[in-house]
Every structure is written in C-alpha cells, then in structure tokens.
Amino acid sequence: MSDTFPVEKFRSLKTPFYYYDLNLLQDTLDQVKKHGLSKGYHVHFAVKANFNLPILEIIREAGLGIDCVSGKEIERAIEAGFTPDQIAFAGVGKTDEEIRTGLYHNIFSFNCESIQEISVLNELAREAGKVANVSVRLNPNVKAKTHKYITTGLSENKFGVNPEHLPKLFKMLPNLKSVNLTGIHFHIGSQIRDLQPFKDLCEKVNLIQDRFEEEGFPLTHVNVGGGLGISYEKPDEEPYPDFEPFFNLFEDNLKLRDGQQVHFELGRSIVGQCGSLISKVLFVKEGITTDFAVLDAGMTELIRPALYQASHSVDVLTSDKPLQTYDVVGPICETSDTFRKGIKMPKVERGDLVAIRSAGAYGEVMSSGFNLREKVKAYYSDEI
Ligand SMILES: *Cc1c(COP(=O)(O)O)cnc(C)c1O
C-alpha cells in the first residue's frame, strides 16, 4: 500500500495515466537553486526529457533556462514563457527550418555539432540579417559509464566535433561574419551515477579552453551539458540526486577565465523522480517459471525498459498481500514490452493498481501510437 499516492482518487481515473508530483519537482528545483544557481551557474532544463507546460512553468519560475534539440522545442519553450536569451539549441541534425526558428527568436546559443553546420548557420544567419551566437559542441572522448545507447561523448558517437578537427574550424571562423563564437559545449551522456566521468570531462574542457585561447578565440561560456543520473532502484530513499557534490565538482575542477559563465543542461535529474506511470493489472497469467502480471500500460507509454534495458521500480498501490514473484509485462505485441522480470511484489489480482516509478523523464515524451494506442492523460498533484 502506498502513502505517496492519492490511491482513492486514482481508482476513479481511467488508466493508464502519468502522474506528476509537483511538490517533489519543487523540492528538486530548490536543491538545484541551493547548490547550483547560488554559485552563479546557469542551468538549462533539457526539455526533451519532459515538455508538459505545467512542469515547464514551475521550472521557469525556479529560474532555469531551456536546452532544446528541435525547432518545435524552441517554440514550446517560448510558449511556456522562457525568454530567447535562456534558450540553447543542440542537435546533430538541425534542419534549415529549425535553424531559422532559432534565428527568428534570437536564441542565446546554437550548440553546433559539426563544422559544416557552423558554415550553414553562417549562411542562414547572413540571409536573415543576423549574427548567431555559437557554441561548438565538442566530443571529449570521455567514458560516461552508462548504457551504450545513452553514451554520447565517445569518439565513435555521432555527437559533437572531434577536437582533432579544430584546426579547420580555427581557420574558417574569421571568415564567418554572421556567427559569433561565444562558447564550447559538451554533453557526455545520460544517467551518469558515478561522478568520475564529470571530473574527466572537466580536464578535457580545461585543455580545450587553452587551445581556443591560444588560437585567439576567448570564450565567454562553457557549457558542460547534463547527464546526472537518478536512483531507479530506490526512488523513495533518493527522491532527487545529490546535487551538491555534482556542482561542487565543477567548481573545484573547471579552470575558468574572469567573467566566464558556466552552463548546465539537466533533464532527467530534474524531472525523473516526480513522474509515475499508473497502470491497472488486466490479467494475472500463470506461467511456467513465474506468473505474469499483465498491465494496461506498455512500452507505448514507457519505452525505457525496451529501449535501454532500463529497470523501473514497480509499487503495488492496492494490495498488501504476501509477496509473490512476477514478470510485469505490458499488452504490446513485442517481447521487449516487459517492465520487470522475476520481481517479488504483493500478490495482485485483476483490477489492482500499480505505479511504475521514476517515469518523469523520457517517459511521456517518448510515448508512441504503436498498435494504434491512444495517447494517455497526465494528471498533476495539485489538481487531484
Ligand atoms: C538530452 C540532453 C541533455 C540532458 O540529458 P539528461 O541526461 O537528461 O540530463 C543535455 N544536453 C543535451 C545536448 C542533450 O541532448
């Protein structure tokens, strides 16, 4: 049984649905303010993790900016009331239309991921009669020690410019009159729980900064990206990550020049724990090795287990019967549509409610219409 959730209210709602605890979101943001913003750091929320307006509004009020990876995300950020000078725009494959969206709004920074992109941006900015602020995203070749699909900072990954190719950029830049190089950008991966990779990143940042300076390109911004992980195993014991050592690490290890600003792009660590996917047990099926609890939610509502072999905690909300072993599965016609295998949880029956925890980041935003499934609703703690 749960005291974290308004279970009685849940019983009257059509399942599955996403449920967001806005108090927890606020508590998480308070930690970011206390340990990050207080140092003068700029934190951009990676809106791809969750783009729901009620969530964005709370994040905006906390004083964070936005990190976008598409033109539509820029528009969503503006709609949510963020100002263009709070918006950074990354992505390996920005279309001309998306670049024009960013130019139109005069965003804070285009985080460019290739040398060709910088020259295309220069061209489009010239046409628009603007000068675009650019941060070069560099691939620092740092191991993030996370799932290979969410590792982004290795030479073999598609993201960022390899530092080996910097001489070409240095040669080209003086001729690009419609871009203004303001910073360097990095993002080494996601769900990083051990801080060592961030320390390795700082070392690379310091070396790369020196190179830019030697070439006569002083930088006003250093953007170290996001990636801080959350506890999927124990969401109640660790409702938000420990932001203090995370921000302190950068304070201790980055060699900044006078007046230089540090930017972060946090997604998962801000919204991951405040969201749950609430689902009903449709059937309990006897198996040979374990029984199956078949839910009405599946990979169409939360694809992380199928996509990244992620494991989410499953809380049974309406039973406190003795424990039994289950495979917790969805209804979709894919074997990977399995939330958990062989977990012990209170015995469930048809109609019992469960909460799949830590679903606030990369949950609802990745939902799909596979099997012609309908998009499910989101509810917020302040409305039910
Ligand atoms: C996804 C992404 C982030 C956020 O990653 P989290 O692991 O959710 O913190 C930050 N920056 C860029 C460029 C991204 O693509």
pLDDT of residue 145: 81
Indicate the top mutation candidate among 265, 271, 308, 365 to test ligand 1's pocket, ranked by most ligand atoms within 8 A of CB: 265
pLDDT digit string (tens) for 263-307? 999 999 999 999 999 999 999 999 998 999 999 999 999 999 999
pLDDT digit string (tens) for 267-276? 999 999 999 9
Measured in Å, residue 49 CA sits from the centre of ligand 1 at: 8
pLDDT of residue 291: 96
Contact between 135 and 180 (Cβ < 8 Å):
no
Indicate the top mutation candidate among 146, 147, 190, 224 to test ligand 1's pocket, ranked by most ligand atoms within 8 A of CB: 190
Measured in Å, residue 191 CA sits from the centre of ligand 1 at: 10
Q: What band does 2 get if pLDDT is binned at 50, 70 and 90?
A: low
Whether residue 1 is predicted with pLDDT greater than 70 in this model: the reply is: no
Within a 10 A sphere around the Cβ of 348, how many other Cβ atoms? 23
Helices (H), the chain: 7-10, 22-35, 53-61, 71-79, 96-105, 115-128, 166-172, 196-214, 243-253, 268-271, 304-308
pLDDT digit string (tens) for 124-133? 999 999 999 9
Whether residue 153 is predicted with pLDDT greater than 90 in this model: the reply is: no
Residue length of the chain: 384
What are phi and psi for residue 363, nearest 5 degrees? -110, -85
Indicate the top mutation candidate among 32, 47, 48 to test ligand 1's pocket, ranked by most ligand atoms within 8 A of CB: 48
pLDDT of residue 146: 83
In 351-362, which positions are buried (b, 16+ CB within 10 angstroms) versus exposed (e)?
ebbbbbbbbbbb
What are phi and psi for residue 77, nearest 5 degrees? -65, -40
| Range 7-13+273-380 has CATH code 2.40.37.10 | yes
Contact between 147 and 308 (Cβ < 8 Å):
yes
Closest approach atom of ligand 1 to CA 44: 10
Query: Which residues are within 8 A (CB) of 287 and not within 5 positions of it... i.e. 6 or more apart?
Result: 327
Measured in Å, residue 193 CA sits from the centre of ligand 1 at: 14
Whether residue 179 is predicted with pLDDT greater than 90 in this model: the reply is: yes
Query: Of all residues in the chain, what percent carry a pLDDT higher than 90?
Result: 93
Within a 10 A sphere around the Cβ of 213, how many other Cβ atoms? 12
Ligand 1 environment, Cβ below 6 A: 46, 48-49, 67, 69, 90, 187, 190, 225-228, 265-269, 361
Closest approach atom of ligand 1 to CA 361: 8
| Range 22-272 has CATH code 3.20.20.10 | yes
Measured in Å, residue 169 CA sits from the centre of ligand 1 at: 25
pLDDT of residue 292: 98
Measured in Å, residue 180 CA sits from the centre of ligand 1 at: 24
Average pLDDT of the chain is 96
Whether residue 152 is predicted with pLDDT greater than 80 in this model: the reply is: yes
Measured in Å, residue 44 CA sits from the centre of ligand 1 at: 10
pLDDT digit string (tens) for 30-82? 999 999 999 999 999 999 999 999 999 999 999 999 999 999 999 999 999 99
Where are the domains positioned within the chain? 7-13+273-380, 22-272
